[in-house]
């Protein structure tokens, strides 16, 4: 079965550094998402992306965050200047369309900001 691939599985960074989290969505999917989950808490929506632009974003997704689909297969989340509170599991997800019944999630990137 096709799957969403995320790299790296773990990322450790110093506060203030930039990080890029990478995702390869399923090839025929059109909608892409980033979610995050702080340890022990709920899964929070960050941003959705369609047709090479952001279709929706949450209040969490402030100016330090950006997303990009640089080459037609990768989908990246950049955090410009990391803070301690950015430490979380970051999940990429994709779906065929907006009304498809499910999102396919990647296995996540655990980001630790020291």
Does 111 contact another protein by CB under 8 A? no
Cα–Cα distance between 112 and 92 in angstroms, integer? 17
| Torsion of Cα atoms, 69 then 74 then 79 then 82, to 10° | -170
Exactly one of 33, 65, 75, 90 binds another protein (CB under 8 A); that residue is 33
Exactly one of 25, 26, 48, 87 binds another protein (CB under 8 A); that residue is 48
Does 61 contact another protein by CB under 8 A? no
Residue 6 contacts residue 29 (beta carbons within 8 Å): no
- How many CA atoms lie within 13 Å of 84's alpha carbon, on the beta-carbon side? 1
Residue ranges binding another protein (CB under 8 A): 31, 33, 35, 41-45, 48, 50, 55-56, 58, 89, 91, 93, 98-99, 101-105, 107-108, 110
């Amino acid at each position: 079965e096709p799957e969403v691939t995320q790299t790296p599985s773990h990322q450790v960074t110093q506060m203030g550094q930039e990080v890029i989290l990478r995702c390869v969505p399923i090839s025929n999917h059109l909608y892409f998402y980033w979610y995050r989950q702080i340890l022990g808490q709920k899964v929070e929506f960050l941003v959705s992306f369609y047709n090479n632009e952001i279709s929706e974003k949450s209040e969490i997704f402030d100016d330090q965050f950006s997303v990009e689909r640089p080459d037609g297969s990768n989908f990246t989340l950049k955090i410009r200047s990391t803070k301690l509170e950015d430490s979380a599991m970051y999940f990429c997800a994709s779906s065929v369309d907006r009304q498809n019944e499910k999102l396919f999630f990647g296995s996540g990137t655990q980001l630790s900001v020291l």
